[in-house]
Structure 1
Amino acid sequence: MYRNGGFRMRYDVLRDFACRDGAEPARLNAYVSFDADRARADPVYQKSTQRFYSLLRDFGYKVMIKEVRWYEDENGKRYGKANADLDLSVDMLLQSENLDRVLLVTGDGDFTRVVSAVQNRGCRVEVVALDNASADLRRESDLFVSGYLIPDLVPAFSNGGPAGDEEPWGEIGSIVRGTCYFHKQNYGFMRFLRIPGPKLWLTDTQNPDSPYETAYFNDSSLPDSVDPLNLPSYNHIFQFELVESRHPTGKFEARNIQFLSWVPT
């Protein structure tokens, strides 16, 4: 997860999302790697990783540290491995026995079978992932959410760097992320999650209980890399700025639209 966008993730927001319907977490496991060899040679790495682990603990996570082990291939090239997949799978099976729901934060398709096994025990499994998510894992989960669509989970960026100060997510002037659910001729509408709640399935924004909002856009605001003929699409995730709408339908308009990520079907 760290290599696929997770290094920017806010773990306090992740915890809030997991508990969005008033649930109390029985356990928050964070599986991390630690390179002892590098730590001995690099005080900055040692200090930054320990600070990161302490931050996770402050948010209530149990930090499961997997030490990097170093090997040499047949050409004498040194490489490190710190795979926590087995640990995570065993923990899921053992700890899900008395749970109603498990939130798994990964896009790794290797977990598809363990997700199925946990579901067969009567437990709902939700998956949050960023880039390179497995299509099999998405289909197997009871709910799949791209982490980019969760408000403030991953900071907004512009041209590869942080977007800087902006209005709170969902307000005029803020930068949000969403998908195009309607397109016709030279315009369409984006849908974005305003406030995470228990009714994520309620996508009709005309329903007052829906946690979603919509934003009108004109094709001229789309990036050159996006063909309007491929819209609407739930696979394309866009980042865009919210401005006051000039369109009679709705209060938001999407400007400065960027293509951000692709979610497999």
Structure 2
Amino acid sequence: MIKTAIYVDAENIKMSGGFGMRYDVLVDLANSGDSIMLRANCYLAEDHERIKTDTEYRQKTYAYHNILRQCGFRIIKKYVRRYTDEDGNVTCKANSDMDLAIDALLQSKNTDRVILLTGDSDFVRLVPALQNQGCRVEVVGFNNVAKELREAADSFVSGFLIPGLLPIPETAPEEGDWLRGVVANYNVDRGFGFFRYYRRDNDGLHPESVFFHHSQATMPTHYFQDPYRVFEFHVAENPASGDNRTEARGIRLLREN
């Protein structure tokens, strides 16, 4: 049995495109296949002064915390501190990077696999430290993930590509479920390529690929030359292929990286 730990840099995730992330999906991933979730920690900021005076903020904050606890997460709070410079400018800080790194290292002796949710380059040194303890480190991030962090990890998966982790809005009544993927390869001269996307089941994440042609998209063809751009599409059979081959239809760009 593979013992898995999840560490979520919640403020980085929230500010980098992961607002509204489904924590129960993370738990399912950690408990899929031969893996069992040993620990799940979420590191977040709380404005202690605002909690006292802002009823709406207090209610939303506590409701959010209750959801995390129901999913099996331990909450590690970093209270917001305010600093005033000589010009009277107020700066708020609540950084829990050190707490996450120390906890992950101390707990690594009982862990086989670490799922680290962040895009912060401050964790680049943590990844090899965990690997040297025998842990496999899988990074999940959304926008603005540091290149060095992607390269240091044993694997990197964009959080946008994990089915169910973030909702996909149904903005068109076209047939087929919407999926998210990145370009695995693209033939510039012939205008076609393949998207890589993921399927999720009780055994975890499984990479899949599907053919696409740029005629199914409205954006310029050079967009398909960036392997980090995330696209949304649905998969349908192409009767003209003669072999019921599937292909991506209604391609739209989700975001720039």
TM-score bucket (shorter structure): 0.7 to 0.9
Is it true that 1:112 corresponds to 2:124 in the alignment?
yes
How far is the alpha carbon of 1:164 from its aligned partner? Answer: 6.6
Which structure carries more relative contact order (alpha carbon 8 Å, separation 6+)? Answer: 2
The counterpart of 2:31, out of the listed 2, 5, 19, is: 19
Structure 2, gaps ≥5 residues long? 1-12
The alignment partner of 1:80 has SS state of strand
| 1-structure distance, mates of 2:39, 2:173 | 33
SS in 1 for 2:39: coil
Deviating beyond 6 angstroms after TM superposition, the runs of 4 or more aligned structure 1 residues are 164-167
How far does the alpha carbon of each residue in 1:108-161 deviate from its partner, in whole angstroms, 9 at most, with x for none?
A: 11001111111111111111000000111111111111111111111113xxxx
Partner of 1:195: 200
Match in the other structure for 2:159: 147
Work out whether 1:234 is the aligned partner of 2:239: no
Q: Which runs of 5+ in 1 are unaligned?
A: 158-162, 201-210
TM-score (norm 2): 0.85
| Distance of 2:139 and 2:240 partners within structure 1 | 35
Q: Which residue of 2 aligns with 1:43?
A: 55
Q: Summarize the Cα distance change of 1:154–1:199 in structure 2 as closer, same or farther, 3 Å threshold.
A: closer
- Does the CA contact (< 8 Å) of 1:151 and 1:196 recur in 2? no
Question: Between the two proteins, what is the percent identity of the paired residues?
Answer: 39
Tell me what 1:177 maps to: 180
User: Which residue of 1 is the match for residue 253 of structure 2?
Assistant: 259
Report deviation, 1:106. 0.4
Question: Secondary structure of the residue that 1:93 maps to in structure 2?
Answer: helix
Q: Give per-residue Cα distances to partners, 1:44-80, cap 9 Å, x unaligned.
A: 1100110000000000001111111111133212221
Distance 1:166 1:5, change over 3 A: farther
User: Would you say the 8 A contact 1:216–1:245 is kept in 2?
Assistant: no
Query: Which one has the bigger strand percentage?
Result: 2
Given the superposition, is the C-alpha separation of residues 118 and 193 from structure 1 closer, same or farther in structure 2, using an over 3 Å criterion?
same
Report the Cα distance in structure 2 between the residues aligned to 1:153 and 1:82, rounded to whole angstroms.
25
The amino acid of 1:32's aligned partner reads: L
Count of equivalent residues: 242
Look up the equivalent residue of 1:258 and give its one-letter code: R
| Letter in structure 1 aligned against 2:142 | L
Asked if 1:76 is matched to 2:76, the reply is no
Counterparts of 2:155 and 2:201, CA distance in 1: 14
